[in-house]
Amino acid sequence: MTLQAKETILVLDFGSQYSQLIARRVREAGAFSLLVAPNESLEKLRAHNPKGIILSGGPASVTDAGAPVCDARLFELGVPVLGICYGMQLGCQLLGSQVGKAPAREYGRTKLHVKVAKDLLQGISSPATVWMSHGDQVTGLSNDFEMLASTPTCPAAAVKHRTQKFWGVQFHPEVTHTPCGVDILRNFLQEACGCTGSWAMADFLDEEVARVRKQVGKDRVICGLSGGVDSAVAAALIARAVPGQMTCIFVDNGLLRKNERDLVESAFRHHFDVELKVVDARKEFLNDLAGIEDPQEKRRRIGHRFIDVFQRAAKEVRGGVKFLAQGTLYPDRIESGQSHAGTAASIKLHHNVGGLPEDLGFELVEPLKDLFKDEVRSLGEVLGLPSALVWRHPFPGPGLAVRIIGDVTEERLALLRECDFILLEEIHAANLYRTTSQVFAVLLPVRSVGVMGDGRTYDSVVGIRAVESSDFMTADFCRLPWEVLARVSSRIVNEVSGVNRVVYDISTKPPATIEWE
């Protein structure tokens, strides 16, 4: 079964903050989804052999000069198309309707009055609560369209073309604020596109094993292990695809958590039937980071040094190495603006996506590049990895370097390691590790006045970050029990010399990112 044989839904991303959610909802419904640039050529769209296409929302107005558009011949593909918000307006405009400013901008929850409870709106109660976010709307609906639903301020809130396979909704079915949204998307996937909902992680594993086997052939692969779930799952998959052809390399970059090196060596030597090399490069990484405060520059330098160390280690691998395996995920590529060209903004530079030198010297193998984090964990379970590895919280490739805001020194690393160790120890003790998605400490570039004993202190401030998320594209801060936070704060201030204040980060993503740098 090839990638083309999947039930694939293409999501043309016009820049909506919800585009990734659309892709997630499609996968949750049992179809495979890919985000693609809105200006992708018709030939490239056809090459994916899609079962359907979704046009996302976006911040622009279709009436603006230079607004993003798709190929006007899109409907020649003959597959069902669903337009959401901006995508609906664009689709309607391409098919002869008029778009203009709405009489009243609509933002937030509103009531959808269903007029035609079939096709897209089959089984949807009326009125239904939906989430709106628009200033434009379809103001002149062509006679070629049928109006399916309306809201008090939007007469054409859901429409269907009478001859083309096009449906449009002005609201956002992908967000949780639209309770019936899952059913609407499922109606589109199953009723309009004919998807069976059969895409499963076991199928992905078989496909990816075959793809890696074909890509690698008889050559050798090196895989960088970080101790996290991404590299562990990538290594296990590649080991299954090309047994005996992979060497795993763990680089001690001096930016690891407390006891990380020992834990990684123990875990991988016992659970992987692969050659494992451990490289001590702590001095090299720390020398590269001396005096560097800019987070992007930190990532670039770490990426360059990482490859330099790998190139040296690869020369020692028997038989020579052609491929470098990485646990790059779909969110990594999306946030780096490399999942597709066009409207995607680069939020941060991921060391395993955009921080690599051009003279890489290896061909990349990225078996997880189309998966979200929760899907990687599911794949790990299918592969039979230990639960301790599968459910381990994410740890950034650049390590503690991006959890120390400002200059990275040996002293600041030692301080943060102790704080982070205490934090995770208390999270485990409170049985909260599996119910939180990511928990870590951040060393801030400020000092504050405090009192210890009878003396005045002027020491460091540590931030605590704890989030819950299903896909790490969006995240909410965890409402950790006050008593847990109190224990963490008390222990850090009393046990870690140099810290006199602990603060708790209650930001969501967006607008903040999960990591601070």
Please give the pLDDT value at position 397. Answer: 82
For residue 302, pLDDT over 90 is answered with yes
C-alpha distances in Å from residue 138, one per residue of 38, 88, 159, 165: 20, 8, 10, 18
Q: What is the mean pLDDT of residues 387-408?
A: 89
pLDDT at 373: 81
Percent of all residues in the chain with a pLDDT value above 90, rounded to a whole number: 43
Neighbours of 242 (CB within 10 A): 21
pLDDT exceeds 60 at position 287: yes
Based on the residue annotation, tell me whether 223 is a catalytic residue of this protein.
no
Please determine, for residue 78, whether its predicted confidence score (pLDDT) is greater than 80. Answer: yes
Among 332, 118, 313, which residue's Cα sits nearest to residue 228? 332
pLDDT score at 226: 77
48, 134, 172, 340: the catalytic one is 172
Does position 464 have pLDDT exceeding 50, yes or no? Answer: yes
* Residue 147 · residue 156 · CB < 8 Å: yes
pLDDT digits (tens, 9 = 90+) for 180-203: 889 999 999 999 999 988 777 877
* Tally of CB atoms within 10 A around 22: 28
**Residue 269, both tokens:** 């030597």
Q: Please write the tens of the pLDDT for every residue from 243-269.
A: 989 888 889 999 999 988 887 777 677
- Asked if 172 is an active-site residue, the reply is yes
| Residue 487 scores a pLDDT above 90 | yes
Catalytic pick among 85, 92, 223, 419: 85
Condensed to tens digits (0 to 9), the pLDDT of residues 160-185 reads 999 999 999 999 999 888 888 899 99
Mean pLDDT of the chain: 86
Average pLDDT over residues 447-454: 84
Model confidence at 139: pLDDT above 80: yes
* 125-134 per-position pLDDT tens digit: 889 899 888 6
Active site residue 85: yes
pLDDT band at 271 (very low <50, low <70, confident <90, very high): low
Is residue 37 within 8 Å of residue 13, measured between CB atoms? yes
Alpha carbons 110 and 157: distance in angstroms, whole number: 11
Instruction: Return d(Cα 147, Cα 140) in angstroms, integer.
Output: 12
Helices (H), 217-358: 229-241, 260-271, 282-289, 295-315, 330-335
The CA-atom distances, in angstroms, between 492 and each of 199, 202, 406, 455 are 46, 44, 21, 18
pLDDT at 410: 96
SS (H, E, C) 72-122: CCHHHHCCCEEEECHHHHHHHHHCCCEEEEEEEEEEEEEEEEECCCCHHHC
User: Which amino acid does the sequence have at 49?
Assistant: N
